[in-house]
Structure 1
């Protein structure tokens, strides 16, 4: 019965969908070929701009979505044989500087005065591209997926300029057709423009978007109507070689300095205007940001997000298959922990308006220190659009060990010759975005494991202006095995109902407020007895200045399924099967983003395992000397009181960070982390010079210390040069 619900809902919502699309169908911007050359300088004096149509009369999205925007925004677009051009006049009101974080690209949307373009060149209301800038000129670009999410890891060649005037700031950009993908011959693209202004706390959009959804929602775009089909991008091949030199020393092992001299190559080949082939040989990711450490008091493996661009770019079809804790594919399993990646290839993109394809193959080398063999990873994903914005997806994952000989591996957990997964999922997304959901089935194949080797899950969510109601259930068999995925727990059944109700005062400092109830239940798959349960009541308040306050209480019950050290300090472990129950109260506050000084405060106090207590406080402080310097400090403190042998345990996690953006092409980042739980201090600094579009010079220095007594563990210095050129 449950599996029929999404299909029935889709059918019921088709009428609503058509009406929603007809409403925004009237928002059309005509784009004509430029009658003169366009110079990207922030000055609107070319004949091409004077004759271009203007998109204005924006609608307010926040704080309310029932009126026109107070601030005027004028948008013009044109094109020539090579580029798509955009110029935007962002009018302002009142005195005072623009509010921006820095000149660093891919800024946080809510912390900057900015303008963003969202476009759907496939007209499928699901995938697309986003470009934009903040008022200081920092660029924003990303791939759009799932109908309204933006992957900011995507980085490509385009140019822009921001120029400030007393009453407005102008954003002008040229986006090469070779940079984006689009359906050949299509003359109508979905498009929307979004404006965020912190002084007035107004967020607006050209085509109206209900306030409960992001302005990136492709369900609510208007139309960009071309006077002729966009020109074909032609031969589109990019080569991105790198050269690297470095030195590293491991003081713990007493090794001498180790010098690095390396080179590698990435290539991007446009197979069609909407399908791309990416190749990589000997890739290196030394310039990627280090992981932000967290206090680990969890019984299961923690999740750290992927940050390597090769795996992130256009990778949502593979990496987002499944749920947050049931991911059959997690790219961080490939090439980390000292395992070198030799080469790889990925074919991804749109086959046509309805079909989307993603195929990736990666080959790693042998890990010399442990003897782990070379391995090959293959992932294939195929997606078919159904109804207006929903889709059905298939995935296949294969991990194969090369020259498999487990007898040569010592002091390591057993590894398998192969591990395979196949999966199907249905993603529901109504055209007006009120109904969303997913149904999924996975099966694994591992030598020596059969039976109870499947996982399935489903969820359904309804989102209106005042209600958010969702239901999710999961099942993971005890023998389900995803060695290239992220599935931290097996052998359970899980259900999660959630209800949120919002109220909107007509005046006053509060914009919205309301309660939320969430209850999470885990049951053992064998006899369905309860093993975990957490019920939380939260009351949230959003103020008109965009500061937020949440107050919550919760009740937690846990029956341990294996021995567990509640402090992760290796003192002792609680017994398997022991039962624990406690209550907790908490509060979270985030300050308004308009201030130069921003902060976020969190605190929780309550019971803990073995009739103990836990106090946790978390502080995030930030100050910006805009637009060039941003200073941040995060501090997390835990105090745990338990009976002997643990007693009183307390530890800090502190992370100061310095971001200096000298220009929008010259950046410096310094980041330190002190982790009292792991007794480690980490320092990471990175200098980046973007000397040409998408071409960079990186200088990266890392250091790890033992804080007590102060002792250097290891340190490394790397210089990396990347150059992007088109053939």
Structure 2
């Protein structure tokens, strides 16, 4: 124990030292925003006289294929602003006007399409930011960025929507975009004169990523560690988000064939968004309707663990990192917002647990402090032995050094009264935790150190979870290491805890070679080792994985990956890896060693037809496995995209253990009639869960952030013949009212 404490102190000292020892961004480009009193007509043309007063910025740099050369196709931009809005005009040069724009749908996927994106760090903390993007047809996308945007998929939330306007024009050798962002759509400190800013662009004609502020090619192009500055001509006033009232109506007709229940109902509720200060907002919700017009993706699960799916509910989106970015997202995430509003019925099935009301206060107090308070009250369901619960999360975060922070988290889930069906251990569950997040100034060093403790009545004292992760990312190499512990009595009812009684350790090293080659961006070689021990079983090794990986990343956005996995798994409980609930699961009390090789190839996404195909084969526990996972897409730009996601797993185990062929088939079609109307259809067939689902959805954005959805769902039990399960049709109307 003393050795562990000593080691922990050494690690803490090392992390703190590295937070203070970092290299500054070598080049910090600057631009100016000129104040005007006039309004600007957003039409994609800078023909207003006031645009002539602005300061033009240019000289973009390559990020890909190189990161040290001037852009082959340059981009220009300039800023103006008045009391209400910020205006941006962009001119993007190209060889001709043949652009790739697959869809007119908002929040488009940027990879493989012509677009540019710009980011604002309004508090200059290099940690949180606002992300906006558009393309030659003026389609919008926006996200909230957190954790310095070190990993775009993990650190961005595209479910966030806000009000802004953009119009574009296409010419022979360039396109232009004129943009208006109301200051009410952003949070920023009062009397601020400087924001951090960057703009990056992808040109499909020469497959070139370019940036205004230079970004090293081993870092994410959207990283908030590498930005320039906007200097406003005079200080900005107060950041005040308007008072929004967001009522909704959801009319539903449904037929539950299993329970033989038909329902017709109308649900009315609403949200409110109230500005408290420059960076602090209060969100209220009453009788919220969190039924998803966009369904969750079906998956085939061959693991022993529960799968976590992403949060898509708008109420939980803004500042979500302040509540959820704690612990280890894979093994011990103390708060997982999807736990609120769902529960288990008496048969162990997951069902909706109605939310009565909720409130969230979150945002910036000043440039160094962030705070978040979330409270949600759920309804009791006596029939299914579900109590009414009060769910509270409190988080506070303090920036330290250049980009690191320390965060404190408190969680409380408590039943509102006593219930005869409620065990003593289920009356409440609480958690207290502290996390230190490391991010050096140039993002070369990143990491986390955390310790959490849960409190549950009569549930044991081994209720701690802790961990450490450190990574160093240089141009040609990345090295990372980490360890984590989850006690056997650690519990978070509002979190995602994959399993308890584990001590995990890992280390990996990747080396990259950047050849002078027009087609290949880099070769990558990676080795990794991942170990899991069971402390309560004399530290028995329960899982081991050795990873060897080779990658080729091509300049046309395609890539090739070859991986080998050498695994060992010790089963403490009987397990059926086919997920078929066989009467002959693999026996517990023994270890299984197996090796697998995997090939993946992604094609050039700029083409009308693109695909991502992967296949693996090898041993699987005491048998063998063959898998194929593919996605095909055909684009008739910009109105129609259609495709198929396919997954197949053939698991062959020796008798008397089960053998199965598992299929996942997801054909889909997206039709965008205009920027504001779309129709999406998804069919999902999962042989493992024996389900077939059809979801078709029409969307009309009839006013800013206001939508009409018409959604038809049809679900079947996938037996022979197919048996209807649940059918529904709903009309959902949401309208944003600005009461200022």
Check the 8 A contact 2:37/2:83 in 1, yes or no.
no
Does structure 1 residue 147 correspond to structure 2 residue 148?
yes
The superposition leaves residues 133-183 of structure 1 with CA deviations (integer Å, 9 ceiling, x where unpaired) of 122221011112111232211111111112222211212111111111001
Contact 1:82 1:233 in 2 (8 A): no
2:222 corresponds in structure 1 to 216
CA displacement at 1:686 relative to structure 2:
1.2
**Aligned positions of 1:313-462 closer than 5 A:** 313-324=318-329, 325-336=331-342, 337-405=351-419, 407-408=420-421, 416-462=426-472
Quick one: structure 1 residues 246 and 639, their matched pair in 2 at CA, closer, same or farther if it must change by over 3 Å?
same
Please point out which of 290, 297, 312 is paired with 1:307. Answer: 312
1:716 maps to 2:717: no
Distance 1:311 1:205 in 2: 32
Asked whether the 8 Å contact 1:37–1:48 carries over to 2, the reply is no
Q: How many residues align?
A: 716
SS in 2 for 1:178: helix
Normalising by the residue count of structure 1, what TM-score does the alignment of the two structures yield?
A: 0.96
User: Does the residue aligned with 2:459 lie in a helix, a strand or coil?
Assistant: coil
The residue aligned with 2:671 is 660
- Larger deviation, residues 319-328 vs 686-695: 319-328
Q: Does 1:204 align with 2:204?
A: no
Kept after mapping to 1: 8 A contact 2:576/2:585: yes
Instruction: Report the CA distance shift for 1:50/1:495 in structure 2 as closer, same or farther (over 3 A).
Output: same
Q: In the TM superposition, what whole-angstrom CA distance separates every residue of 1:492-536 from its partner, at most 9, and x where no partner exists?
A: 100010110000111242210021111110001121121110111
Q: Displacement of 1:103 after TM fit?
A: 1.3
Q: State the TM-score, normalizing by the size of structure 2.
A: 0.95
Structure 1: tracts of 5 or more residues without a match? none
Superposed displacement of residue 404, structure 1: 2.5
Which residue does 1:67 correspond to in 2?
A: 69
Name which of 254, 261, 269 aligns with 1:248. 254
d(CA) in 2 for partners of 1:404 and 1:352? Answer: 42
1:444-477: per-residue Cα shift (whole Å, max 9, x none)? 0011113110000000000011101000100000
State the secondary structure of the residue aligned to 2:185.
coil
- Give the Cα–Cα distance (whole angstroms) in 1 for the partners of residues 336 and 401 of structure 2: 29
**Structure 2 gap segments, 5+ residues each:** 1-6, 150-154, 343-350
8 Å CA contact retained: 1:10, 1:430? no
Distance 1:577 1:617 in 2: 31
249 and 664 in structure 1: CA distance in 2 versus 1, 3 angstrom threshold: same
CA contact (8 A) 1:287 1:686 kept: no
The structural deviation recorded for 1:235 is: 7.0
- Counterparts of 2:52 and 2:178, CA distance in 1: 14
Q: SS of the residue aligned with 2:237? A: coil
1:273 equivalent in alignment to 2:278: yes
Aligned residue among 522, 543, 568 for 1:557: 568
1:316 partner SS: helix
Contact 2:425–2:458 (Cα < 8 Å) also in 1 = no
Report the counterpart of residue 595 of structure 1 in structure 2. Answer: 607
**Is the Cα contact below 8 Å between 1:288 and 1:307 reproduced in 2?**
no
Contact 2:543/2:570 (8 A) holds in 1: yes
SS at match of 1:682: strand
Q: Decide which of 166, 175, 188 is 1:169's aligned counterpart.
A: 175
| Distance (whole Å) between structure 1 residues aligned to residue 657 and residue 18 of structure 2 | 57
2:27 partner SS: helix
Cα 1:308/1:422, change in 2 over 3 Å: same
8 Å contact kept, 1:3–1:439: no
Counterparts of 1:133-144 in structure 2, within 5 Å, are 133-144=134-145
Paired with 2:128 and 2:667, the residues of 1 have a C-alpha distance of 37
Partner of 2:345: none
> Kindly tell me: are residues 509 and 608 of structure 1, through their superposed partners in 2, closer, same or farther at Cα, counting changes over 3 Å?
same
Query: Which SS does the other structure have where 1:155 is aligned?
Result: coil
Structure 2 Cα separation of the partners of residues 445 and 612 of structure 1: 42
- Deviation of residue 393 (structure 1)? 0.4
The match for 2:522 is: 512
Q: Structure 1 residue 691 and structure 2 residue 706: aligned?
A: no
**Is the 2:425–2:459 contact (alpha carbons within 8 Å) kept by the matching residues of 1?**
no
Taking the aligned partners of 2:589 and 2:613, their CA distance within structure 1 comes to 36
Corresponding residue for residue 579 of structure 1: 591
Alignment partner of 1:189: what SS?
A: strand
Report the CA distance between 1:559 and its aligned residue.
0.4
Matches of 1:445 and 1:161, distance apart in 2:
54
RMSD: 1.5
Q: Following the alignment from structure 1 to structure 2, what is the Cα–Cα distance between the partners of residues 432 and 3?
A: 25
Matched, 1:258 2:272: no
In structure 1, C-alpha distance between the alignment counterparts of 2:338 and 2:358, rounded to whole Å: 14
- Shift in Å at residue 539 of structure 1? 0.4
Matched, 1:24 2:27: yes
SS of residue in 2 equivalent to 1:218? coil
Structure 1 residues 6 and 132, CA gap change in structure 2 (3 angstroms): farther
For residues 418 and 176 of structure 2, the distance between their equivalents in structure 1, rounded to whole angstroms, comes to 60
Matched residue SS, 1:249:
strand
Question: How far does the alpha carbon of each residue in 1:677-711 deviate from its partner, in whole angstroms, 9 at most, with x for none?
Answer: 11110111111100111011111111111232122
SS of equivalent residue, structure 1 residue 349: strand
Q: Matched residues in 1 for 2:38 and 2:417: separation?
A: 62
